[in-house]
Amino acid sequence: MNAPVPVAIEDLRAALEAVVGQSHVSRRSLPPRKVPSQARNQITGDDAVRLRRGEPPAIGAAAWLVQPGSATEVAEIVALAGRAGAAVIPVGSGARAAGRDAPAGGRPRLYVDSRRMSHVLHLDETSLVVHVQAGLTALALERILVPRGLTLGDFPPSTLGSTIGGLLAVRTPGKSSARHGTVEDAVLGLSAVLADGRTIHTRVAPRRASGPDLARALLGSEGRLGFITAAVLRIHRRPEARFLAAFALPSLEDALAAVRLALREEAAPAALRVFEGADARAHLGESVCDEEQAVLLVATAGATDLAACDRDLVASAATAMGGAVLDDAVAEKWWRRRTGQERDPQAPPPALQVTAPAGREATVARAVAAAAERLGARARVHVSRFEADGAVEFFTFVEPDGEVAAGERSAAIRAAAEQAAEQAGAILLGSSPPGLEPYERQLERLLDPHGVFDPELTREPA
């Protein structure tokens, strides 16, 4: 087998055009991708700021935007990049900071946008499984499934604007549903292009014991080990029945205890949220509870008797912890926003998201509140996604005058809050276990020796 022929930069554009066609290679900045209104308010932090300003990533001197129409074209582009010494950067919905300014004289960059690879390849209603290309957004997928009485799951609106590829490459616990986990948990099989241009497919099966679950190497790896081109996902029937309920509880701790109690009775709600008092009043209205109290909201869904049973289990638990039932309108308002039918006027979205281990939810929340207070601000919090591992907490920082903290002030409070949260045992977004760093680096070196998926060449070459 001949050694791959290197490609000079001058010839790179022509080579790309030969793969995807002239109209799908450009030097223009990324056209701003339309973020569905349901999703807009739910994207947090820096990504949200950039997105709202309509800012696409900057494209440097030697960079092209390429839009392949198939996984085969992606493979050819990656192989081409390897031969040209270029870097490949996958671009999904564009919400994530996909591009940073290319350093002067740096390697050429190929921003590979998946938006043309947005088809449903196979819908298997017998197995409740769907095979999709990675450029399909969750919203577009739902629009195909819902008329057939199917759904990806009760995912929050923040999930909808992302592409399937993006949801799989970037692990965001907040983008998950109580019953169905994250979209990553729904993966039964994966197709991806490796740095050498080879395409891999992991076998589709409900469960296996044929070695490690190899797809898990790519999920959450942010495109550094492979370019995800398609996935096979578990889907669900639309539920027979849905029930909503809301309760006011004496304190945050009581509300969290009520959740644990209900989960112990094996209640399986479709969605569950606990608002601490101030956050509840901000989102649901001042009349919903006092500041020291908390609000527990639950949506259950499924076979009618079972969904009703789950609702009753949560109600009993809430009552046992001293809760009072709130008017139906409260739960309904929450649900309309949760499903993106209505926008939450409480923009901007939370500044900080952390995962608190089981049993430490209240401690973490209090630690963050204390840190904010030391800087003269107030932390509001709501908690969702309860699991054995813990729960996801969303914090909003508010100045004494009632305005949400912004700009540098927000950054400063957030930094202090992150530190306090970590000390209290929480896990921050984007963190990984320290001891495994060398193994991840080595895996990257082995699978991508020339740094095709490593634009900044953050590691030493092989």
Partner 1 sequence: MQRVALDPDRLRRELLPIVGERRLSMRASDLASYGRDMWPRLLIGIAAGRLPADLPHVVVWPETEREVAAVVRAARALGAPIVPYGGGSGVCGGTVPVLGGVTIDLKRMAEIRSVDRDSLLCDVEAGANGERFERELNRRGTTLGHFPSSIYCSTVGGWLACRAAGQMSTKYGKIEDRVAGLTAVTGRGDIIHTDGPARALRGPDWTQLLVGSEGTLAVITSARLRVSPIPELRILRGFEIESVAHGVEAIRRVMHRGLRPAVVRLYDEVDTFINHVPLFGRGRGGGAAGDDKGEERDPLERAPEPAAGGGALPEIPPKGDRGGASEGLFGRALSLLSPGAEPARRLAGRLRSGAINAVLSRPRLVNGLAGPLAEKVSRRGCRLIIGVEGARIRTEVEARLVMGELERAGATDLGEEPGRHWLEHRYDVSYKMSPVFRSGLFVDTMEVAATWERLMDLYRAVRQAISEHAVVMAHFSHAYPEGCSIYFTFFAPVVGAEKTYDAIWQAGMAAASRVGGTISHHHGVGLLKGPAMLGEHREAMAILRALKASFDPDGIMNPGKLGLPAALARRA
Which positions from 408 through 437 interact with partner 1, judged by CB under 8 A?
Answer: 425, 427-433, 435-436
Are 179 and 156 within 8 A, CB to CB? Answer: no
Residue with tokens 């800087």: 375
Pair of tokens at residue 416: 């202090």
CB of 219 to partner 1, least distance (A): 6
Q: Where in 293-359 does DSSP place strands (E)?
A: 294-302, 324-325, 352-357
Q: Which stretch binds partner 1 (CB under 8 A): 60-68, 90-98, 122-130, 242-250?
A: 122-130
Q: Which is nearer to partner 1, 125 or 332 (CB)?
A: 125
Q: How many CB atoms lie within 10 A of CB 66?
A: 23
DSSP string, 363-383: HHHHHHHHHHHHTT-EEEEEE
Residue 33 makes contact with partner 1 by CB under 8 A? no
CB of 394 to partner 1, least distance (A): 14
Q: Which is nearer to partner 1, 37 or 127 (CB)?
A: 127
Q: Which is nearer to partner 1, 146 or 436 (CB)?
A: 436
Residue 460 makes contact with partner 1 by CB under 8 A? no
Residue 59 makes contact with partner 1 by CB under 8 A? no
Q: How many CB atoms lie within 10 A of CB 359?
A: 11
CB of 300 to partner 1, least distance (A): 11
Select from 23, 53, 105, 126 the one that contacts partner 1 (CB under 8 A): 126
Residue 53 makes contact with partner 1 by CB under 8 A? no
Select from 52, 201, 242, 459 the one that contacts partner 1 (CB under 8 A): 201
| Chain-centre distance for alpha carbon 447 | 25
Q: Which stretch binds partner 1 (CB under 8 A): 139-147, 168-176, 285-293, 416-424?
A: 168-176
CB of 455 to partner 1, least distance (A): 17
> How do strand 199-201 and strand 63-66 relate by DSSP bridges?
unpaired
Residue 124 makes contact with partner 1 by CB under 8 A? yes
Q: Which is nearer to partner 1, 49 or 443 (CB)?
A: 443
Are 261 and 321 within 8 A, CB to CB? Answer: yes
Three-state secondary-structure class, residue 300: strand
CB of 155 to partner 1, least distance (A): 17
Select from 11, 305, 332, 373 the one that contacts partner 1 (CB under 8 A): 305
DSSP string, 43-107: --HHHHHHHHTTPPPP--TTEEEE--SSHHHHHHHHHHHHHHT-EEEEESSS-S----PPPTT--
Which positions from 75 through 114 interact with partner 1, judged by CB under 8 A?
Answer: none
Residue 313 makes contact with partner 1 by CB under 8 A? yes
Q: Which is nearer to partner 1, 121 or 200 (CB)?
A: 200
Select from 447, 451, 452, 454 the one that contacts partner 1 (CB under 8 A): 447
Rounded Cα distance, 396 and 344, in Å: 14
Rounded Cα distance, 128 and 109, in Å: 39
Q: Which is nearer to partner 1, 98 or 219 (CB)?
A: 219
Pair of tokens at residue 202: 């992991």
Residue 212 makes contact with partner 1 by CB under 8 A? yes
Residue 306 makes contact with partner 1 by CB under 8 A? yes
Are 250 and 322 within 8 A, CB to CB? Answer: yes
Rounded Cα distance, 239 and 436, in Å: 41
CB of 2 to partner 1, least distance (A): 20
CB of 418 to partner 1, least distance (A): 13
Select from 223, 350, 390, 455 the one that contacts partner 1 (CB under 8 A): 390
CA angle in degrees (0–180, nearest 5) for 287-292-295: 55
Rounded alpha-carbon distances, angstroms, from residue 151 to 8, 120, 180, 197: 47, 14, 11, 33
Pair of tokens at residue 43: 């994207």
Select from 199, 319, 346, 419 the one that contacts partner 1 (CB under 8 A): 199
Residue 449 DSSP class = T
